[in-house]
Amino acid sequence: MFESSNSKGVETWRKKIAGRFESKDQYLIPALQYIQGQEGYLPPEAMEAAARHLRMPKSKVFGVASFYAQFNFKPQGRHKITICRGTACHVRGSARLLAKVEENLGVHAGETTEDMSFTLETVACFGACALAPVAVVDGKVSGNQTVSKLKQSISDARAMDSGKPGHKSTVRIAGNRASKKNVNRQTSRKSSGRKGRK
């Protein structure tokens, strides 16, 4: 059946991807990581471009991308807060921590605030149980978290933003892109051994 898509966007992305990766299956995940590194998430036209360049069905690209927890399909906030919900953190009160942050930001875990400033996420175990409860703010891991410490981090981040909402603020480019890479590396390492397809 006929579909129409944003062909200009696809072509722009295809050129970017083709300039960096050979047209071989094994470059799918690196290409997706590159896209997410640029955009913070995987826009549909960029995934389509990856499919084009690698000459594979776009359904397969989406299949692979949706398998991994590290990939996002929606635009992400300028700041990312990840709260660990592993056993040790749970025992040390991470459920309450999460509830309070949700209340503070006005979003549920997995969502982004309307002004695009915060994305709130959970992780099943961060692997730093001795520091429980653990939270990660913009790639910075901090242990022995409390509600007030987290609230402080949130207001610090807000202060760091020049008050301008929208995706392309300088704060994001200066501070966030580098740190996002950290988060990606860590979550991907953790997720590989933990989860498998049924």
Partner 1 sequence: MAKVTLTIDGKTVQAEEGSTVLEAASAADIDIPTLCYAKDLEPYGGCRMCIVKVEGIRGMPPSCTTRVAEGMKVTTEDDEILQARRMVLRLLMADHPSDCLSCPANLECELQALTKKLGVREHGLIHLDRQATLDESHPVFIRDMKRCILCAKCVRTCNEVVGAGAIGLINRGHRAEPAPFLGTGIKFSNCESCGECVEHCPTGALYYREPGPEPDYEVSTICPYCGTGCGLVLGVNKGKVIRAKGDPDNPINQGHLCVKGRFGSYEFVNHPDRLKTPLVRKDGELVEASWDEALDLVVQRFKESKGDKFAALASAKEPNEDNYIMQKFARAVMKTNSVDHCARLCHASTVAGLAASFGSGAMTNSIEDMEQAEVVLVTGSNTTENHPIIGNRLRHAIDKGTKLILFDPRDIPLAGKAVIWCRQRPGTDVAWINGLMHVIIEEGLADLDYVRERCEGFEAVEELVKSYTPERVSKITGVPAQDLVEAAKLYASGKPATIIYSMGITQHTTGTDNVKSLANLAMLCGNMGKPGGGVNPLRGQNNVQGACDVGGLPNVYSGYQKVTDPAARKKFEEAWHTDLPAEAGLTITEILEAAEKGEVKALYIMGENPMLSDPDVTHVEKALKATEFLVVQDIFLTETARLADVVLPAVTFAERDGTFTNTERRVQRLHQVIPPLSGCRKDWEIICDIATRMGYPMSYESESEIQDEIAELTPSYGGITYDRLDRGDQLAWPCPTKDHPGTPILHTKKFTRGKGKFFAIEYISADELPDKDFPMVLTTGRILEHFHTGTMTRKSKSLHALVPGPYVEIHPADARHYKIRDGEKVRVSSRRGSIELIAKVGRVDRGLIFIPFHFFEAAANVLTNPAVDPVAKIPEYKVCAARLEKSA
- For partner 1, the closer of residues 34 and 67 by Cβ is 67
Binding footprint of partner 1 on the chain (CB under 8 A): 1-8, 44, 47-48, 51-52, 55-64, 66-67, 73, 195-198
Tell me whether residue 18 or residue 129 sits nearer to partner 1 (CB atom).
Answer: 18
Closest approach, Cβ 63 to partner 1, in A, equals 3
Closest to partner 1 by CB, 75 or 165: 75
Residues paired with 83 in a beta bridge:
122, 135
Phi-psi region of 40 (alpha: psi -120 to 50; beta: other; left: phi over 0): left
In angstroms, give the least distance from the CB of 169 to partner 1. Answer: 28
Q: How far is the CB of 21 from partner 1 (least distance, A)?
A: 16
Please report how close the Cβ of residue 24 comes to partner 1 at its closest, in angstroms.
Answer: 12
- Of 52 and 172, nearer to partner 1 (C-beta) is 52
Closest distance to partner 1 from the beta carbon of 67 (Å): 5
Listed residue (63, 43, 61) closest to 52, CA to CA: 61
Which is closer to partner 1, CB of 73 or CB of 166?
Answer: 73
Question: Cα–Cα distances in Å, from 152 out to 38, 54, 93, 157?
Answer: 28, 45, 18, 9
CB nearer partner 1, residue 64 or residue 131: 64
State the nearest-atom distance from the C-beta of 57 to partner 1, in Å: 2
How far is CA 140 from each of CA 10, 146, 186, rounded to the nearest angstrom? 34, 15, 11
